């Protein structure tokens, strides 16, 4: 069946903007996005490490990964492979081999609204992978699917080229258009919270955190 490709690549904001979010917790990014966006129900399966990059999106029917294989021929450095698998947990869409292909293509990681397998290989590696579940059952490879179209991941709409950030708390995404202003706000909140923690350690905390 047909795989529709809306674009072979995604636009990327300046590298310094993307890298600026490398030390930004997803919780603080979310705070500065009115605490509204963010994928629900995904968890990290890799050993450790931050996920930061731009969304290279894939939509596929439940339990079928033909479109992901096609996407792996197109992704490159800086791309986060974002897969809308409809939240299906009955068949794994990605396993160890597809993890290694993505690494070889120098992608930044996977975000999958669906299941994975070969979880031990992910757990032994720092290559980021966020998914909904683990199951041994493999996928079909029949299609259809779409590449680089808006997708829904755990209730969050992600468009091609959106910035995607993932850490131990989960995954959040946002448009590159407002990323510079968002980064400035995130950095300001990090500084405020660091000052609050310092005040607690030094015994001079005045209850300001609950009022912010």
- List the chain domain ranges: 3-201
Calpha distance 159→199 (Å, rounded): 40
pTM: 0.94
Average pLDDT of the chain, as a whole number: 94
Does 191 show up as a binding residue in the annotation? no
Does the pLDDT of residue 212 top 70, yes or no?
Answer: no
Does 95 show up as a binding residue in the annotation? yes
Instruction: Calculate mean pLDDT across residues 187-209.
Output: 85
Instruction: Calculate mean pLDDT across residues 144-160.
Output: 97
Statement: 3-201 belongs to CATH 3.50.30.40: yes
Does 97 show up as a binding residue in the annotation? yes
Does the pLDDT of residue 199 top 80, yes or no?
Answer: no
More confident residue, 33 or 212: 33
Peptide bond into 144 cis (omega under 30): yes
The pLDDT of residue 50 is: 95
Nearest Cα residue to 110 out of 134, 139, 89, 81: 81
Instruction: Calculate mean pLDDT across residues 133-143.
Output: 97
Q: What residue has token string 């609204």?
A: 113
Does the pLDDT of residue 210 top 80, yes or no?
Answer: no
The pLDDT of residue 1 is: 66
Q: Is the dihedral of CA 66, 67, 70, 72 positive or negative?
A: negative
More confident residue, 196 or 62: 62
pLDDT level of residue 17 (50, 70, 90 thresholds): very high
Does 153 show up as a binding residue in the annotation? no
């Amino acid at each position: 069946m047909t795989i529709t490709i809306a674009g072979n690549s995604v636009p990327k904001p300046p590298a310094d903007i993307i890298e600026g979010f490398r030390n930004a917790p997803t919780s603080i990014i979310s705070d500065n996005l009115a605490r509204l966006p963010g994928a629900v129900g995904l968890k990290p399966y890799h050993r450790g490490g931050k996920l930061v990059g731009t969304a290279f999106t894939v939509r596929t029917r439940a339990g079928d990964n033909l479109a992901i294989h096609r996407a792996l021929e197109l992704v490159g450095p800086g791309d986060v492979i974002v897969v809308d698998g409809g939240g299906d947990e009955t068949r794994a869409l990605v396993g160890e081999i597809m993890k290694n292909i993505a690494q070889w293509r120098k992608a930044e990681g996977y975000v999958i609204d669906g299941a994975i397998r070969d979880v031990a290989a992910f757990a032994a590696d720092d290559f980021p992978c966020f998914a909904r579940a683990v199951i041994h059952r493999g996928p079909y490879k029949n299609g259809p699917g779409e590449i680089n179209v808006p997708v829904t991941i755990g209730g969050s709409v992600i468009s091609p080229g959106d910035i995607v950030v993932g850490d131990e708390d989960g995954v959040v995404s946002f448009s590159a258009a407002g990323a510079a202003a968002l980064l400035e706000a995130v950095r300001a909140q990090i500084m405020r919270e660091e000052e609050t923690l310092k005040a607690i350690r030094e015994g001079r905390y005045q209850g300001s955190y609950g009022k912010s």
